[in-house]
Structure formats: structure tokens, C-alpha cells
Amino acid sequence: MSRFGRVDVWVNNAGRGISRKVLDLTDADVDEMIAVNLKSVLYGMQAVVPHFQERREGHLINVSSFLGRVSFVSFRSAYNAAKAGVNILTANLRMDLRRTHPGVHVSLVMPGAVSTDFARNALGGTPPMPGGGRSPMAPQTAEEVAGLIRDLIEHPKAELYTNPACPDLAVRYYRDVEAFENQIFGGK
């Protein structure tokens, strides 16, 4: 603030993974995922949005995950739950600001698989993908996702799936969860 006098765009991009199925989670596992993946984003929102409200403009971008919308990788259970929390907090803030501060944009970015060290650094490592290792989406590079975020800054919208396969997957998932799971991971 002292150097530039204002913030135009704020990107909350925090993430730490864990590989634990729901029934294997401990309190410490859940607390870690909530602290890193949800609370850090909340604190960033609380830090910058009052500045945006005062200026009556600005753009908040929260980076979540496709896994916060579609339960595609069950061994990321606590991570997925924390990212789902990011999704709903972002939507709630957008709704809160809609009438009183229409110049403040609030966007949610949901990448699919991204080629980073995230999986290697996940607590508990990263087991093979369910469903025989098949993934319906090819990983993107961090640079590809960053380019899409740059475009989002220029053309704000509520939500952005970064992986070209993701929008169709989300629609298929919500249309019939059981059919989606059977198709991706095999029958019962």
C-alpha cells in the first residue's frame, strides 16, 4: 500500500494436500487442511475486501480446486472438503457485495490437475489414482492456469474451471452422481 497506494487484484492461492480417506482422518489432519486451505483464504479475503469496499472497486480471486466441486479423488477427502468451503465462502461473499459494491468482483478459480509438486508434497504421499489410474483430464501447466487467471482479471466472471475437460465433467457429475462414479471408477 505504501508503494502503490492501492490493491487492484488479490489472488488467494493456498493449498496443501493430504492423502487420507474419510474414515482414516484425525483431528490434526482436518485441522491442518482447514488452516491451510480454508482459513488462509478467509484471512486474505478479510484483509483486502474492506480496501476494495472503500475504493468501490477491485477483484478478489480465490483459487480452489475442481476437487472442491466434484469428488473425483476420494483419498484427498479433507483437502476436498476444505476447498468446498472455499467455494461456498467465495459465493457468499460475492452475493454479499453484489448490491452494495457492484465494482468489487469476486471470482473462484477451480483448476483440475496441474503439473506441480503438489502431489509429491501431500501429507501421506499420493497413492495411485482410483479407477485403474485413468484420469479424464490431462494435467495443465502452472503457466496455463496463470494465463487463464490473467484473462479472468481482464474479463471478470463468477467461476472459472481451468481444465477444458472440467465443465463437462461437473455437469455429468451433478446430473447423475451414481452414473458418473460408475463410469469413471467402474460399477459397484
Positions marked active-site? 79
The beta-carbon contacts of 28-32 under 8 Å, at least 24 apart in sequence, are 29/78, 29/123, 30/78, 30/81, 32/78, 32/123
Among 68, 87, 82, 89, smallest CA distance to 30 is for 82
CA torsion through residues 51, 158, 117, 73, sign: positive
Nearest CA to 163 among 83, 84, 65, 71? 65
Residue 68 amino acid letter: G
Instruction: List beta partners, residue 56.
Output: none
- CA–CA distance, 22 with 67 (Å, rounded to integer): 14
Query: Which three three-digit cell numbers place residue 120?
Result: 509429491
